[in-house]
């Protein structure tokens, strides 16, 4: 094998829903780090997860996230394996353990169902035996809108947390607001699954109890999940207390207090994956932070939705409410399944890749996460218009 | 950043206990794949986990493992996140769910405690509420030997599985045999944690119900765990049946039947990590398979233990029984802690790295996994002798 080949690639226009595009410069640096980290002839994936350089990678990544999201001091940042699906389970276990500690009682969980991911999260909490209920469920309307919080069912007594999925990738629906004090009682922490839109926009972390995000959209490759958790929620009932209250215990690798106590290295953290998170967040800071990327993301979404809306008889969008349309996953259908396929094929031929919709809903989808450039979105928008003209 | 820099490194002599050394050629290929997989201008970490190339990476890795370990057709191979620690939990859940299906009853778990990892596995089963007992526990003897199976406590009725840790990395103790029909009833599956010695030696897979192995020693970087499971064990009680029997349910991401049904991609598999497993196993096949690597591993262990045993008044080994000394983790102490530290420092200066013992036991440890060359071990053995001569 030749190792003098340059680590180059043509800049891709790739719109996959996740795992998704990453900055080429990050992958290039990671490639070198894989083979020889800090010129030590040992790669970052080969060193002990408890060595000094490993701890520094973990700490730097945490610091970068704290800087970018302006995370207050009363929050912990940590990493787990298991993806968002692991988070559906781990958060339920840990929030119930905190509620038991705080109240001495078994709690209930409230879920806002605004797409297939929040539905899956609820399903898992119920499967594990946690008493759960929905405050809103838009499935009957094909997840096409998010009703005002004033129209949600009230939070019940003994509710341990309220779960929302901030951006639903399959239906392309995104929250543009957070339930506030007029809806959510102060002692009910808000849990947000931000797997598909974290670091894409400013958020006020202090409004959340838990933010959970799989890495493989905006932040890195698959294999690590980011947790941002308010410190008081780490105060949890003991295993014996949980058993007494008949509350299921988390597997030890999902136990938040233990993971925090061990700085995310209770068991072996995938350090190469963490290094990619470090490099991505470092680049975001260099590129002037969340404000700058949010502006670009707003522009990208505007350009693409504008192109689609120019042909209202040709392209169908999942929601008529522009305010809840996702700025990350632009979902659309042409007049027929045949045209949907033709769109993907012709786009592919032009180097515009990864546009097929989710298998459960069909149609097409352009995911325009942080690493997708405005230039790529403009190319796609141009094609969106040409395709409608040619096939109307 | 210059991307024309060659992807080279000086061949390291690195003896870390894990994450551990990987073949340089594998890391070089992986570095290119990270940036552009099959020259598609998209990296292997950026494509959908359900795309055709992703499925091929998963299938190829499974096939390579089947080839190398001669895995019979009545076994499934699959991958989970969560490491060995995740396996301590996932295996207990799933084996109990199988036992419940087969017998309609709640089972018990039997553990052989031969080091700190099997002790941790037992602790987790008990913590989760599974009725568990030990058939042997050598802690009182500082885990210095593995008694003959004939001296183990008998397997109790209603035992769902027997757990062994085939190689204990902290104390450097390894099984050289497997409990057979004279000890283990035919209907009690043997579960082996082979995180630190899988692919290092021939095994007869048909003797096991479950083999579990974290990737980060002999097979790849951290982030994926390999499971080899006899198919009949995937037949499990339903969630409702488990609830009725008061048996804890696994989080969905640890549910073996669901993971198998989705070819290890029920949730997003860390595909880059899987690609490294594929490349490592591919290289092992090219290098003439397990027979060849086992011969080298035996030679490496012989050379190093021989050097240590040449100075019996200087180096102390954890076991006087040569048969149970680990061929992967060679643990030893010099006459004092100061000399232990001096050994590590002087070795480091000679480019022999990663030799410090586990923090729980002190002393020194040379982990000589597959990717550590005989040449590196010979260099270390030479230093072992020199150091004893100079400091006796």
Q: What is the CATH number of the domain that holds B154?
A: 3.40.640.10
Tally of residues, chain A: 392
- Closest C-alpha among A121, A125, A149, A145 to residue A135: A149
Judge if B132 and B245 occupy the same domain: yes
Judge if B178 and B89 occupy the same domain: yes
Asked if residue B19 has a cis previous peptide bond (ω within 30° of 0), the answer is: yes
Judge if A153 and A298 occupy the same domain: no
Cβ neighbours around A286 below 10 Å, total: 8
Judge if A328 and A347 occupy the same domain: yes
A22 touches B at CB < 8 Å: yes
Tally of residues, chain B: 392
What's the pLDDT tens digit per position in A190-248?
999 999 999 999 999 999 999 999 998 999 999 999 999 999 999 999 999 999 999 99
Query: How would you label A216-249 residue by residue, b for 16+ Cβ within 10 Å and e otherwise?
Result: bbbbbbbbbbbbbbbeebbebbebeebeebebbb
Taking the C-alpha atoms of residue A128 and residue B242, their distance in angstroms, rounded to an integer, is 11
Please give the pLDDT value at position A3: 56
- Mean pLDDT of the residues in chain B: 96
Active site residue B193: yes
In sequence order, the 6+-apart residues with CB closer than 8 A to the CB of B64 are B278, B281, B282, B284, B285
In sequence order, the 6+-apart residues with CB closer than 8 A to the CB of A336 are none
Judge if A243 and A292 occupy the same domain: no
Judge if B73 and B146 occupy the same domain: yes
What's the pLDDT tens digit per position in B245-275?
999 999 999 999 999 999 999 999 999 999 9
What's the pLDDT tens digit per position in B131-166?
999 999 999 999 999 999 999 999 999 999 999 999
Check whether B26 has a pLDDT greater than 70: yes
Tokens of A228: 């941002």
Please give the pLDDT value at position A306: 98
Taking the C-alpha atoms of residue A137 and residue A143, their distance in angstroms, rounded to an integer, is 8
Angle at the Cα of B331 (from B216 to A39), degrees rounded to 5? Answer: 50
Query: Is B35 within the bounds of a domain?
Result: no
Judge if A314 and A360 occupy the same domain: yes
Domain boundary among the residues B284, B309, B331 is at B284
Taking the C-alpha atoms of residue A56 and residue A77, their distance in angstroms, rounded to an integer, is 14
Query: Is B36 within the bounds of a domain?
Result: no
Judge if B262 and B324 occupy the same domain: no
The minimal CB distance from B85 to the residues A21, A41, A252 is found for A252
Cβ neighbours around A369 below 10 Å, total: 26
- Restricting to B residues 155-214, those with a Cβ less than 8 Å away from any Cβ of A are 214
Place of tokens 């080969």: A46
* Beta carbons of B273 and A223 less than 8 Å apart: yes
What's the pLDDT tens digit per position in A56-108?
999 999 999 999 999 999 999 999 999 999 999 999 999 999 999 999 999 99
SS3 at position B212: strand
Domain boundary among the residues B284, B309, B342 is at B284
* Beta carbons of B35 and A49 less than 8 Å apart: no
Judge if A235 and A384 occupy the same domain: no
Judge if B97 and B181 occupy the same domain: yes
Find which of B122, B268, B372 to mutate to test the A interface (most A CBs within 10 Å of its CB): B268
**Is the complex ipTM higher than 0.95?**
yes
Q: Is B358 left (phi over 0), alpha (psi -120 to 50) or beta?
A: beta
Domain boundary among the residues A248, A264, A284 is at A284
Check if the beta carbon of residue B95 is closer than 8 Å to that of residue B109.
yes
- Closest C-alpha among A106, A288, A100, A327 to residue A200: A327
Check whether A170 has a pLDDT greater than 80: yes
Query: Is A349 within the bounds of a domain?
Result: yes
Query: Is A24 within the bounds of a domain?
Result: no
Check if the beta carbon of residue B53 is closer than 8 Å to that of residue B47.
yes
Closest CA of chain B from A148, distance in Å: 31
Beta strands in A98-209 (DSSP E): 108-113, 132-137, 159-165, 167-168, 173-174, 190-193
Tokens of A387: 């395709």
Judge if B157 and B213 occupy the same domain: yes
Please give the pLDDT value at position B7: 87
Check if the beta carbon of residue A233 is closer than 8 Å to that of residue A95.
yes
* Beta carbons of A3 and B6 less than 8 Å apart: yes
* CATH number of the CATH domain containing B326: 3.90.1150.10
The minimal CB distance from B252 to the residues A6, A85, A129 is found for A85
The model carries a pTM of 0.97
Check whether B1 has a pLDDT greater than 70: no
Query: Is B13 within the bounds of a domain?
Result: no
Taking the C-alpha atoms of residue A212 and residue A215, their distance in angstroms, rounded to an integer, is 10
Domain count within chain A: 2
SS3 at position A19: coil
Please give the pLDDT value at position B3: 56
- Restricting to A residues 210-239, those with a Cβ less than 8 Å away from any Cβ of B are 214, 216, 221-224, 239
User: How do beta strands B173-174 and B167-168 pair?
Assistant: antiparallel
Find which of B270, B352, B367 to mutate to test the A interface (most A CBs within 10 Å of its CB): B270
Query: Is A16 within the bounds of a domain?
Result: no
Domain span holding position B364? 288-391
SS3 at position B113: strand
Query: Is A45 within the bounds of a domain?
Result: no
Closest CA of chain B from A151, distance in Å: 32
Which chain B residues have a beta carbon less than 8 Å from that of A86?
81-82, 251, 253, 267
Judge if B371 and B359 occupy the same domain: yes
Query: Is B143 within the bounds of a domain?
Result: yes
């Amino acid at each position: 094998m030749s190792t003098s080949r340059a680590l180059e690639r043509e800049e891709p226009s790739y719109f996959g829903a996740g795992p998704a595009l990453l900055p080429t410069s990050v992958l290039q640096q990671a490639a070198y780090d894989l083979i020889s980290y800090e010129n030590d002839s040992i790669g970052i994936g080969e060193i002990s997860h408890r060595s000094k350089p490993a701890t520094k990678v973990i700490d730097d990544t945490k610091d970068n996230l704290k800087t970018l999201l302006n995370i207050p001091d009363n929050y912990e940042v940590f990493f787990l394996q298991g993806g968002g699906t692991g988070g559906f389970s781990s958060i339920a276990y840990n929030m119930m353990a905190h509620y038991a500690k705080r109240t001495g009682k078994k709690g209930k969980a409230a879920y806002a169902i605004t797409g297939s991911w929040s539905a899956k999260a609820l399903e898992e909490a119920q499967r594990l035996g946690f008493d759960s209920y929905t405050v809103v469920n838009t499935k009957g309307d094909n997840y096409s809108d998010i009703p005002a919080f004033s129209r949600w069912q009230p939070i019940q007594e003994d509710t341990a947390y309220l779960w929302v999925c901030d951006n639903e990738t399959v239906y392309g629906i995104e929250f543009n607001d957070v339930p506030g004090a007029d809806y959510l009682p102060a002692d009910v922490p808000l849990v947000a699954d931000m797997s598909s839109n974290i670091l894409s926009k400013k958020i006020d972390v202090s409004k959340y109890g838990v933010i959970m995000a799989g890495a493989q959209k905006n932040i890195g490759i698959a294999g690590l999940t980011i947790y941002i958790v308010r410190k008081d929620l780490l105060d949890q009932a003991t295993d014996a207390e949980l058993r007494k209250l008949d509350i299921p215990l988390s597997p030890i690798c999902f136990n938040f207090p233990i993971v925090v106590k061990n700085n995310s290295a209770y068991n072996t953290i995938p350090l190469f994956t963490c290094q990619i998170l470090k490099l991505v967040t470092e680049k975001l800071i260099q590129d002037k932070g969340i404000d700058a990327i949010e502006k670009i993301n707003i522009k990208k979404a505007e350009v693409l939705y504008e192109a689609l809306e120019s042909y209202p008889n040709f392209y169908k969008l999942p929601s008529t409410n522009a305010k809840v349309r996702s700025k990350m996953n632009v979902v659309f259908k042409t007049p027929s399944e045949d045209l949907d396929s033709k769109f993907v094929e012709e786009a592919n031929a032009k180097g515009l890749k990864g546009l097929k919709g989710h298998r459960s809903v069909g149609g097409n989808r352009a995911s325009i996460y942080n690493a997708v450039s405005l230039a790529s979105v403009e190319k796609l928008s141009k094609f969106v218009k040409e395709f409608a003209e040619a096939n109307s």
